[in-house]
Amino acid sequence: ATLVTFNDSFSDGLKVGSIDFSKNSRYQTRLRNDFIKEMRQLSKLRHPCIATVMGAVVGPNKEPMMVMEYMENGSLYDLLRNETVSLEGDIVLPLLRDISQGIRFLHGASPAVIHGDLKAK
């Protein structure tokens, strides 16, 4: 597999996580090309309320993986299910504001980014 980075401006010490995409052999070539095109677009987006796309891992006969900024406290899904965190208004309201600002940024991008499957995971 080959690591494809779309922006070299990241510091050497930045941690990253990855997201696997399920294999679909029937459309694999088309999906791979669409994936790379989308990653190139998403890697240009910078906003404090959007997880940064660092690059992608692609290789022959392998599932492509998107490499994203590492989120130390996990996903929103993890936070919502963490019984040690009390989700009071002073946490929930800023969280909702950040989500809406991130979505507004994506919709205002050129070209506009419509998420389509926004979820906590």
Of the listed 8, 12, 90, 117, which one is catalytic? Answer: 117
To the query of whether residue 20 is one of the catalytic residues in this protein, the response is: no
- Which residue reads 């910078």 in tokens? 46
Region class of 5: left (phi > 0), else alpha (psi between -120 and 50), else beta: beta
Using CA atoms, how far residue 8 sits from 2, 12, 33, 89, in Å, is 16, 10, 21, 39
Backbone dihedral angles phi then psi of residue 71, each to the nearest 5 degrees: -105, 105
Task: Count the neighbouring beta carbons within 10 Å of the beta carbon of residue 64.
Answer: 22
Q: Report, as residue numbers or ranges, the catalytic residues.
A: 117
